[in-house]
Amino acid sequence: MGLTRLRPDVGTAKHRFPGGWIVGQALFYGLSSTRDFVGKIGRVFISYLLCRHLFRPEKIALVALARRNVQPETRDATRINQQIRITPIRVVSETGEQLGIIATEQALERARDAGLDLVEVAPGERPPVCRIMDYGKFKYDKNKKKNSGASHTKTKEIRLRPKTGDEDIRTKVRQAEKFLEHKDKVQVSVLFRGREMAHIEEGRKVMEQVIEILSEHGKVETKPQQHGRRMICMIAPK
């Protein structure tokens, strides 16, 4: 009789502590049949431990975070050869000759005869524009150009003084023009020493003169700023 009074309390404990509910149910139903009491308790307790291990909140949060941070796989969306299903198409030969609008199968046959690929270069056009080319070489050259343009920008510096003469300024400007032609950035620095700090406006005039001359070859990326005894301006190639 004392056992039957345990059941209402176990029901309320379910919401406060799921493990307590499981153990309570095991006690109630297990003791009602003492023949397999130990077996039932053992199975329920193992299930309880597994549930606590698998469904811990921190684990669920980590799994959700991992799924959210998965980056979609980037694939080459360019269609080549048999991937081109639309027909007819506008075709450009391997030599750049316009072959006009022809059937896709005819263009594929011509590409196979030349030992090359048929590549869709303008899918948005109607009809799409395809070119006969070596697709492997095309991808290699494209990646090489992309990598070379992204990682070789350097920053060069020319230094001037507030009292720098016109001839010296022209010499420095010619150096800067060569740097900009090679796609390098140029940092123009005007240095102030001793009492020259009292003539900052003269240094600013020199800076503005250089910027005006270099405007044909570059654009101002960072406007002239005073940093202690140094006035700095950054010019990027056009």
- Determine the pLDDT at residue 147: 65
Q: Is 150 exposed, middle or buried (0-12, 13-18, 19+ CB in 10 A)?
A: exposed
Angstrom distance (rounded) from CA 134 to CA 131 = 10
Angstrom distance (rounded) from CA 143 to CA 136 = 11
Among 180, 204, 193, 202, residue whose Cα is nearest residue 229: 193
pTM: 0.39
Among 128, 122, 125, residue whose Cα is nearest residue 90: 128
- Can you give the residue ranges of every domain in the chain? 6-68, 81-146, 155-237
117-122, strands of its sheet edge to edge: 98-102, 89-92, 129-133, 117-122
- Determine the pLDDT at residue 19: 54
- Determine the pLDDT at residue 238: 84
Residue matched to tokens 């123009």:
188
Query: Cα–Cα–Cα angle for 90, 145, 175, nearest 5°?
Result: 130
Please state which of the four CATH numbers 3.40.50.720, 3.10.20.80, 3.10.310.30, 3.30.9.30 is assigned to the domain occupying 81-146.
3.10.20.80
Domain 155-237, architecture per CATH: 2-Layer Sandwich (3.30)
- Determine the pLDDT at residue 70: 45
Among 177, 175, 171, 165, residue whose Cα is nearest residue 206: 165
Q: Please provide the DSSP assignment of 7-66 as one string.
A: HHHHHHHHHH-HHHHHHHHHHHHHHTSGGGHHHHHHHHHHHHHHHHHHT-HHHHHHHHHH
- Determine the pLDDT at residue 44: 66
Among 222, 73, 231, residue whose Cα is nearest residue 155: 222
Print pLDDT tens along the chain (238 aa).
444 444 444 444 444 445 555 555 555 554 445 546 556 666 666 666 665 655 555 555 555 555 554 444 445 678 999 999 999 999 999 988 999 999 999 999 999 998 899 999 999 899 999 999 998 888 877 777 776 655 567 889 999 999 888 899 999 999 999 999 988 999 999 999 888 888 899 999 999 999 999 988 899 998 999 888 889 999 999 8
CB-based contact 162:192 (threshold 8 Å)? yes
